[in-house]
Amino acid sequence: MNFIQQFLALCSGSSLELLKKSPTDFNKHIGIGGVILFTGVLAALSSGYALYTIFDNMYAAIGFGLLWGLMIFNLDRYIVTSMKKSGNFFKQFFVALPRILVAILLGIVISKPLELKIFEKEIEKQLNTIVNRNKTELQKNIDVRYADLGKPYQTERQEIYGQMTRLRGEIEKASAELEKEIVGTPTETTTGKQGYGPNALRKTALKKEKISELAAYTEQVQPRLLELTKELDQLNVQKEKEIADAKPTEENYNGFAARMQALDELSANNAILGTAALFIALVFISLETAPVLVKLIAPKGPYDFLLEKHEHAFKVFSKESIQIMDIKSDRRLKNEMEKT
């Protein structure tokens, strides 16, 4: 047994002393140890890449990746070693079911960052699409909000302009009536006589009155119009500043969650990519559950019998030790009672 074989056997959580006594099970335990080891390595690479996308720091990513890989390695090793070959298949299956569910969860966790790396080019394009879509939605939401804020000012200004338009209309109407009176056009409000008579004088005075009314109203509302325009201009400046400050860019929308969103949208919109991502996840789930399933499906071998014998011997020794201690305690108690 060379060093690599011993190391892989230790990775499987098996006892080297018992394996030396059961050489037929040696390859099985080495294979399980290899799967556990490479699952830990893949977990380290996966978490390292995930941390690098979050913190953009290589040293932090390497450190945490190694820590996460060791944790997954130790957890997989514990899951496999905690399974014992005893009882029928269904009993073992229900005992192993929580371990299988944990292994599936770990497989999904490990596979996702690696999927992000595999589909990196597609994700970059989708991120650009998401950023542009978010920009449009942000622009729309801000426009609606500031339109509501400026609505009272717009309404008041429109009312003022409407009143000015009405007064101009009255001036135009008075001008038209005066012209018809001077020309002699017969209407209900004119005499039909050509020339500048008394009726034309009244219509001239009415026209001047309407012009004066418009000038007075314009002078009265001019300060308020300036205030309304200033308020609307300030709102427009605030809106542009808020859009510029809050507008997402590819630089600040490039984190782990954003890439997960991009991958999810790509999987939903692209059947081929979604199928590929699913199979990648299934591959890692298979790798993660393989040691547990091998331990569950494989028949009970010499190593399992030796392990059962060793544990049973320890249980018997423990019971005997407890019984001996109880007997000695009873004897001491009896001797003390006889002395008294």
pLDDT tens-place string over residues 281-335: 888 788 778 777 777 777 777 877 787 787 778 888 888 888 888 888 888 888 8
Within a domain: 145: yes
35 and 80 part of one domain = yes
pTM of the model: 0.53
Q: Has residue 264 been placed in a domain?
A: no
SS3 of residue 219 by DSSP:
helix
Are residues 46 and 78 located together in one domain of the fold?
A: yes
Supply the range of the domain harboring residue 49.
Answer: 3-125+274-301
> Is residue 302 classed as helix, strand or coil in its secondary structure?
helix
263 falls within a domain: no
| Highest-confidence segment of 3-7, 166-170, 192-196 | 166-170
Question: pLDDT tens digits, residue range 14-24?
Answer: 888 888 888 87
Number of H helices, E strands in the chain: 10, 0
Tokens (6 digits) for 86: 């005893």
For residue 269, give every residue at least 6 positions away whose Cβ sits within 8 Å of its Cβ, in sequence order, or none: none
Domain membership of residue 315 (yes or no) is yes
Output the pLDDT for position 158: 92
96 with 144, same domain: the answer is: no
Q: Determine the pLDDT at residue 163.
A: 92
Please check whether residue 254 lies inside any domain of the structure: no
Angle at 329 between CA 324 and CA 331, to 5 degrees: 95
CA end-to-end distance (rounded Å), the chain: 65
Same domain, 62 and 21: yes
Verify that 281 and 312 share a domain, yes or no. no
Percent of the chain whose pLDDT exceeds 90: 8
Phi-psi region of 226 (alpha: psi -120 to 50; beta: other; left: phi over 0): alpha
Question: Which of 59 and 337 is assigned the larger pLDDT?
Answer: 59
Q: What is the mean pLDDT of the chain?
A: 82
Average pLDDT over residues 110-130: 84
pLDDT for 340 equals 64
Residue 198 clears pLDDT 80, i.e. is over it = no
**What are the pLDDT digits (tens) for 142-190?**
888 888 988 998 999 999 999 999 989 988 888 888 787 777 777 776 6
Q: Are residues 156 and 47 in the same domain?
A: no
Q: Provide the pLDDT for residue 216.
A: 92
Q: Which residue has the higher pLDDT, 265 or 253?
A: 265
Residues 216 and 289 in one domain: no
pLDDT greater at residue 165 or residue 103: 165
Residue type, 295: K
Q: pLDDT tens-digit profile of 36-75?
A: 888 888 888 878 877 787 777 888 889 988 998 898 888 8
How far apart (Å, rounded) are the C-alpha atoms in residues 309 and 313? 6
- pLDDT reported for residue 162: 92
In which region does residue 196 sit, left (phi positive, over 0), alpha (psi from -120 to 50) or beta (all else)? beta
In a domain, 8, yes or no: yes
pLDDT at 6: 85
Q: Do 135 and 88 belong to one domain?
A: no
Evaluate if residue 251 carries a pLDDT over 60. Answer: no
Amino acid code (one letter) for 179: E
Pair 153, 110 in one domain: no
Please list, in sequence order, all residues whose beta carbon lies within 8 angstroms of the beta carbon of residue 54, skipping any fewer than 6 positions away.
255, 256
> Could you tell me if 105 and 135 lie in one domain?
no
Q: 159 lies in a domain? A: yes
Q: What is the mean pLDDT of residues 74-89?
A: 75
Q: Residue 156: helix, strand or coil by DSSP?
A: helix
Residues 225 and 113 in one domain: no
Of 231, 246, 261, the residue that ends a domain is 246
- Does any domain span residue 41? yes
Position 253 scores a pLDDT of 67
Decide: 285 and 101 in contact? Cβ < 8 Å: no
What is d(CA 6, CA 17) in angstroms, rounded to the nearest whole number? 11
Domain count, the chain: 3
Which range, 127-136, 187-196, 241-250, has the best average confidence (pLDDT)? 127-136
Same domain, 84 and 70: yes
3-state secondary structure of 22: coil
Q: Supply the DSSP symbol for 317.
A: H
